[in-house]
Amino acid sequence: MKRFSVILFIFLLISLNINSIHSSAQLTRFSQGFYTMKDLGLSENIPYSVQNLSPYNRGVVIVMDENQMIQQLLRIQPSSPKYTLTPLKNSFRFIIYGDGVQLAFS
């Protein structure tokens, strides 16, 4: 009986480990450049935040509307907390500036 219990326990342990799925969301990092909402994979009227994942480099994010009017400007420190963005529209454009900056939108 003891042998059966040990074999059953090992079988269950192996079978549970085989089917494990790691569902961690992979953040897409964006470096210096010009982007649109579509480039960043963002949708309209959804609250988003931006974070600098670079441990050493500062960055700047400029959010502009279709008339090239600045809607938001953020200076983001290295390894920053998340900063909330203004409500976005599909016509908005983004400028990310900073040498070696790695920004993630979530």
| Domain spans in the chain, listed from the N-terminal domain onward | 25-105
Q: What is the pLDDT of residue 21?
A: 54
Residue 4, pLDDT > 90, answer no
Write down the pTM of the prediction: 0.72
Q: What is the pLDDT of residue 75?
A: 94
Q: Between residues 17 and 57, which one has the greater pLDDT?
A: 57
The average confidence (pLDDT) of the chain is: 85
pLDDT, one tens digit per residue, over 20-53 is 555 445 678 899 999 999 998 888 988 899 999 9
Q: Between residues 18 and 48, which one has the greater pLDDT?
A: 48
Read off the tokens for 34. 């010009």
Q: What is the DSSP string of the chain?
A: -HHHHHHHHHHHHHHHHHT----PPPPPEE-SEEEEHHHHT--TT---EEEE--SS--EEEEEE-TTS-EEEEEEE-TT---EEPPPP-TT-EEEEE-TT--EEE-
Q: What is the pLDDT of residue 22?
A: 52
Q: Which of 47, 43, 100 is nearest to 76 (CA)?
A: 100
